[in-house]
Amino acid sequence: MNQQQLLVLIVADELQDDIVDALILLEDISGFTLSTIEGYSREHSQFNLRELVEGHRKMSRFEIMHDAAQEREILDVLAAACGDRQARYWITPTRSGHLGINGGQAGE
C-alpha cells in the first residue's frame, strides 16, 4: 500500500483557474477540493486598497490527496502553473478509510 499524503496549497485567487486547469490534467489523482478562504497577514504589500480596508485577502485553498510517489510530479506541475507568483503549501501524511454503508470501519 502506498503512503497517502494530503497536499494543501494556498494561492492568490487570481491563480485559481490556472491551478484547476493544471490539476485536471494530472491523470494519477482522482480529484481535489477547492475552497475560497480569507487570508490574513502582517505583510500587506501585496494587498490592494479594498483588501487593506477589509484587512484580508480572498485566496484559494486546494486539497489534493495523493500517493507519496506522486509528490514531485504534482509540485512541479503546480510550480509551473504558479509561474512567478508565490504560493504556500504543506504536505501531511494521512490515514484514511470509509465510514457508513458498506464502508467498513475507520482506518481500513
pLDDT digits (tens, 9 = 90+) for 18-56: 999 999 999 989 889 999 987 766 565 565 556 555 566
Topology annotation, domain 4-93: Alpha-Beta Plaits (3.30.70)
53-57 contacts, C-beta under 8 A, 24 or more apart: 57/12, 57/13
Q: What pLDDT shows up at residue 44?
A: 57
Q: How far apart (Å, rounded) are the C-alpha atoms in residues 95 and 24?
A: 24
Cα three-residue angle 80-85-90, rounded to 5 degrees: 75
CB 66 within 8 A of CB 7: yes
pLDDT digits (tens, 9 = 90+) for 69-82: 999 999 999 999 99
pLDDT digits (tens, 9 = 90+) for 96-107: 777 887 766 555
Residue whose C-alpha cell reads 485567487 in the numeric block: 13
This prediction has a pTM of: 0.79
Percent of the chain residues past pLDDT 90, beyond the cut: 54
CA distances from 25 to 22, 84, 106 (A): 5, 21, 31
Alpha helices in the chain (DSSP H): 16-24, 49-54, 71-82
Q: Which cell is 51 given?
A: 483588501
